[in-house]
Structure 1
């Protein structure tokens, strides 16, 4: 599961005081129920190390690193870890319970184990987040403050490398700021619910143009996305399943790309090669398109639900990967 708080941490980047060491890191991983025969480690300065599985069923390599935060991916899931020259780290996990089973051993493992536990803590908080987003601002802020204090207390008492402590302290504050922005976005979106939706008239991948009024009489579930957006692409398999579930019902699925004009051909090829369903549209002025600005969209993916009369049901609707979307649509779509 991709965690919102985890993604926010990654969005801050890997930058902080760094030292490239000549001493190599020894890294190995034993993964049950693996999703791939390669493991990829990403790090500062566009670092990328691809590690193939060996005959013993182990991912094993030795490589130079820039000391600091890194990320490993098995092709389907990712997690953060901390690497320094001279470390000798061994990772074990079961990909069926990815986050819950991550364990590091060996020299330099303490910091990575801390990061794995923080990811679990963040995931637990995210499970409460949907309910918190419905609360008043004071309640939401109190929950964020409580989390930040607890995270700082754990960080300062864990006996970690001071570089990691220095790197994570501002990130904890930034998590709160980003989640507050997310809360404010949700609050602003609620204000337009029940009002007439702004219209659009955009190029259709299949030819011609499509406007919102063409879809009157049906619910319209809109996905605002772009080809370069990783979280957007991650929702595509879930969206396809939702489209299949409600095929033939009174709902249309519309995807609006905010790719810039120079990527128009890239968008066309992407839609064709990935066999994207629904109605695929290309916004006329990407982020500055009137429809995008009317909903105050400044981050993607963003999902919107409009009723058969053209009124906004949800200006910030649940994602296709959320069980909440099915609950919502089951109560509306016939």
Structure 2
């Protein structure tokens, strides 16, 4: 009787341990050239699920209770997608200087996560810029091929069926998102291209230097317009490049005009930033921010936006290259030679 009781106790203990083990997963790893003291796991809504501390040697280990699915993993600087599921015993090895190219997994759950790591490299190789700039026929042909290739890579019966379902759903969502973005921007891009070689709309805005300035004041010169705002990070990132461009073409037949779409209450903030950054060119303040007629005529719905106009007042480009782009220098050198 005692032997039977002992056997039952061992069985219960074993089953209990099995249940507990499958109620969480173990995640460990070694990170070379770590950027911080922790890694962060977030869900699809960017909610923090787990913060795992990393030792000074770059080693970490922890247990997590999760709902099976795709999660974000970041070290504070870089980001990748992982597939997590209770019962996994997953180990990561990574070098932050290479990040995606260096990620490898071992242990239970490695097959799915190595798939994701390799898949991110496929995504990086896709030239989305060219695809989004293509004609409608070529766009859908290219996007359909990408979707077919993505699905073909899932034809591995060893992959977790739940993982495959998540991936298929992600592929569909990604496809639909790209289509939506393309359609949203296609008409806007078409409208911008139709503005080429037409007379530019005009403006008459307050000048930081005093008085008002209108487009006609620059007749006989090329005009490079920067539509920006003080709160816009990407706009401010272009400032050093714009200043260098202004210096390079100083004395040439071109005027550099910056038009702020800041709201009226930020007028003093605009003035202070111009003084602080020692901004050159002609600094103007639009009369009704985004609703200013000149801004609406050009269909400006995001900034920074750059516009290039010829000496006769005709539009060369309603969406010109940025100062940080080598394309702008090539174009201006050709125009001003």
Q: How far apart, in 1, do the equivalents of 2:51 and 2:255 lie?
A: 41
Who is 1:116 aligned against? 120
Matches within 5 A, 1:254-293: 254-293=257-296
327, 330, 333: which is aligned to 1:327?
Answer: 330
**1:282 CA drift (Å):** 2.5
- Give unpaired runs (5+ residues) of structure 1: 1-20
Shift of the 215–121 alpha-carbon distance from structure 1 to 2, 3 Å rule, reads: same
**1:292 CA drift (Å):** 1.0
- The 8 Å contact of residues 26 and 63 in structure 2, kept in 1 or not, is answered as yes
Q: Normalising by the residue count of structure 1, what TM-score does the alignment of the two structures yield?
A: 0.69
Q: How far apart, in 2, do the equivalents of 1:172 and 1:193 lie?
A: 31
The question of 1:242 aligning with 2:245 is answered yes
**1:142 CA drift (Å):** 2.8
- The 8 Å contact of residues 65 and 84 in structure 1, kept in 2 or not, is answered as no
Who is 2:199 aligned against? 196
**1:319 CA drift (Å):** 2.5
**1:229 CA drift (Å):** 3.5
**1:90 CA drift (Å):** 3.8
Who is 1:223 aligned against? 226
Q: How far apart, in 1, do the equivalents of 2:277 and 2:91 lie?
A: 40
- The 8 Å contact of residues 305 and 314 in structure 1, kept in 2 or not, is answered as yes
State how many pairs are aligned.
300
Worse-matched range after superposition: 110-119 or 285-294: 110-119
Matches within 5 A, 1:295-334: 295-334=298-337
Q: How far apart, in 1, do the equivalents of 2:233 and 2:65 lie?
A: 25
Q: Deviation per CA, 1:22-77, whole angstroms, max 9, x where unpaired?
A: 9896676434xx9x779996954465999999865x597979899755375876xx
Q: Deviation per CA, 1:141-190, whole angstroms, max 9, x where unpaired?
A: 43333334434544676947344553453122211321343333222111
Who is 2:142 aligned against? 143
**RMSD of the alignment, in Å?**
4.2
Q: Higher Cα Rg: structure 1 or 2?
A: 2
2:321 aligned counterpart, secondary structure: coil
**1:200 CA drift (Å):** 1.4
Shift of the 149–258 alpha-carbon distance from structure 1 to 2, 3 Å rule, reads: farther
Who is 2:189 aligned against? 186
1:332 aligned counterpart, secondary structure: helix
Who is 2:81 aligned against? 81
Q: How far apart, in 1, do the equivalents of 2:139 and 2:180 lie?
A: 12
**1:306 CA drift (Å):** 0.6
Who is 2:103 aligned against? 103
Who is 1:70 aligned against? 72
Q: How far apart, in 2, do the equivalents of 1:300 and 1:190 lie?
A: 18
Shift of the 178–91 alpha-carbon distance from structure 1 to 2, 3 Å rule, reads: same
Shift of the 271–42 alpha-carbon distance from structure 1 to 2, 3 Å rule, reads: farther
Q: How far apart, in 1, do the equivalents of 2:256 and 2:285 lie?
A: 14
Shift of the 265–212 alpha-carbon distance from structure 1 to 2, 3 Å rule, reads: same
Shift of the 105–192 alpha-carbon distance from structure 1 to 2, 3 Å rule, reads: same
Who is 1:12 aligned against? none
- The 8 Å contact of residues 41 and 71 in structure 1, kept in 2 or not, is answered as yes
2:125 aligned counterpart, secondary structure: helix
Shift of the 217–80 alpha-carbon distance from structure 1 to 2, 3 Å rule, reads: farther
1:139 aligned counterpart, secondary structure: helix
Shift of the 54–197 alpha-carbon distance from structure 1 to 2, 3 Å rule, reads: farther
**1:227 CA drift (Å):** 3.5
- Give unpaired runs (5+ residues) of structure 2: 1-22
**1:329 CA drift (Å):** 1.5
Q: Normalising by the residue count of structure 2, what TM-score does the alignment of the two structures yield?
A: 0.68
- The 8 Å contact of residues 25 and 84 in structure 1, kept in 2 or not, is answered as no
Q: How far apart, in 2, do the equivalents of 1:177 and 1:40 lie?
A: 33
